[in-house]
Chain A
Amino acid sequence: MIRWAVWLMASSGAAMACDADGVPMVAQENEAPAVYLAVGEVPLAQPFSMRVTVCDDRAITALRVDAIMPAHQHGMNYTPRVTALGRGVFAVDEMLFHMPGRWQVQVDVALGGQATSYTFDIAAR
């Protein structure tokens, strides 16, 4: 069974409307709060880091990060590390894309009593 990298809220700090870095992720539902993904160069088969910013002033109760390679029907071989930095910003470390091609980053955000899924495609070369 695939485990997800998950961060569960340990404090009641709320996410803020934000001045986010990165690119907007694609929400799977309408009217979802904006989520931004900041990622630099993605080294193939080597660990890299990302930053996820949730633009909402409600408390975030969980945030999960994963990635899959849709064309190959597989995901990552390791669970990445998610660390809450405060104000809706999360560091995501130990991501590893072990093959070149299109990867789909998946982020699930739980806030306000409901979860919303986001995706963003990254080409690993």
Chain B
Amino acid sequence: MKAWLVAAVLAMAGAVQAEVLLSDAEISQTLSFGPWPPQVRPDASNRVSGQAAAIALGAALFNDPLLSVDGAFSCASCHDPEQGFTTPQARAVGRVLLDRNSPSLRNLAGLRWYGWGGKSDNLWAASLHPIVDAQEMGHRPESLKRAISESLYAADFQGVFGDIRDQDAEMVLVNTAKLLSAYLETLVTPPTAFDAFREALARGDQAAAERYPDTAQRGLQLFLGRGNCVFCHNGARFSNNEFHDAGVPYFLSETSVDEGRFGGLNFLLSSAYTLDGVWSDDAEATGAWWVRNLRRSHADFGRFRTPSLRGVAETAPYMHDGSLPDLEAVIRHYSEIDTERLHADGEAILAPLHLNAQESADLVAFLETLSAGP
């Protein structure tokens, strides 16, 4: 049933007929993708979350090669603010060619898991691991403490955390990560054409809703319906923040694989930097339930975290290994998906969609409305 089929300006000869194509059920589903941006509380596990001085210092450190042991690159080298906090390379380049695509760093506040394999349950841990990863920034806690102490940032660091001489090297590492986290929490994509459409639907403003292009509406209908995209890409971030096998090969070579969530869980459960660990500032251990009560499965092998689709048009290439160069390729992947690549005992969700050219174009048009545009 069409909810609104009234032409916009029927009285005017030659007027273009615009309409809302969605059914009542589709409108109800559409409302679940907002409002945007969502309200996010300060991170209780990070005592400097939301503090202006920490955010400013975190932003400066994010863009400074000081955080790599030899000054070779900064966080921004792989997460370029001018490119949606990612880069155009399929796979990130640290000290070596890494296994995965650099994920965008926007809209990260308040998530349950971070990273393609979910090896962190909080944003400061996700910020910490690359600093000490030998293939990425390459610091040890001692070298980082020395670098911070001898830098122009020493006074500001101590303004936030107190005398750095009273902090052991690991504490300096964690505090540095919490500064980065405080900054990253502020990175939020702006409302888009989709949000304007959703808000118009929410307030019953038909005239405003009709301005959303028909092709994007048809794409949204596919997204909600036959495409089954909404199974994983749901909520205001267009992600359930859980882990799925999307049928992308996870062999890195003939002899090695990207373990995905399986490896992420191994890392997480041996990490000192979880919400259940001593480095969290939250005495109530809010959120620690998830790491304590995870269910493991061999089907976790090759599963990757559902990425948000907010700003997706700005963050090509796509998938965990960056193997799909543009949105058209992503749609083609799901349209022609090889189910032989899926876990035999995995979720029975994906099947070839067999989309025609118009349907594929409609889906791309919809996805592009999740970005603010140039």
Contact = CB atoms under 8 A, between A and B. Distances in A.
Contact of B295 (A79, A81, A101): A79
Of the four ranges (under 10, 10 to 19, 20 to 34, 35 or more), the interface on chain B belongs to: 20 to 34
A103 to B, nearest CB: 13
B274 to A, nearest CB: 15
Interface string A3-30: 1000000000000000000000000000
Interface string B268-301: 0000000000000000000001100111000000
B242 interface: yes
B240 A99 contact: yes
Nearest to B235: A45
* Size bin of chain A's contact surface: 20 to 34
B293 A79 contact: yes
A3 B347 CA distance: 18
A45 B235 CA distance: 8
A74 B347 contact: yes
B231 interface: yes
A69 B230 CA distance: 15
A44 to B, nearest CB: 5
Interface string B332-368: 0000000000000111110000000000000000000
Interface of A: 2-3, 44-47, 71-81, 94, 98-101, 125
17 contacts: A2-B295, A3-B295, A44-B235, A45-B234, A45-B242, A72-B348, A73-B348, A74-B347, A76-B295, A77-B242, A77-B294, A77-B295, A78-B293, A94-B293, A98-B240, A98-B242, A125-B32
Interface of B: 28-29, 32, 230-232, 234-235, 240-243, 289-290, 293-295, 345-349
Given A44-B234, A45-B235, A72-B347, 6 more contacts: A2-B295, A47-B289, A74-B346, A76-B295, A77-B295, A99-B240
List the 3 shortest-distance A-B pairs measured between CB atoms, nearest first: A45-B240, A79-B293, A98-B242
